[in-house]
Amino acid sequence: MGAFAMHEEIEMSLIQRLCAAVVAVECAFIGVCAYLIGRTYAAVKGRSG
């Protein structure tokens, strides 16, 4: 039983790490999108104005 509990603990930490990685990637993606949208908006505004 002890080994099984240990295995479950390792699995949980892997899942938590995976979730943290997914969240980090999503945040980075949103940041990049916001940056590109902001630059595009500034360029369009600068051109028209």
- Mean pLDDT split into 10-residue runs, the chain, 49 residues: 72 92 97 97 88
Structural domain harbouring 37: 1-49
Largest distance between two CA atoms of the chain: 71
| pTM: predicted TM-score of the whole model, two decimal places | 0.59
Question: Residue 8: what pLDDT?
Answer: 79
Task: Please tell me the distance from the alpha carbon of residue 21 to that of residue 36, in angstroms, as a whole number.
Answer: 22
Show Cβ contacts of residue 15 under 8 Å, excluding neighbours closer than 6 positions.
none
Per the structure, how many domains does the chain have?
1
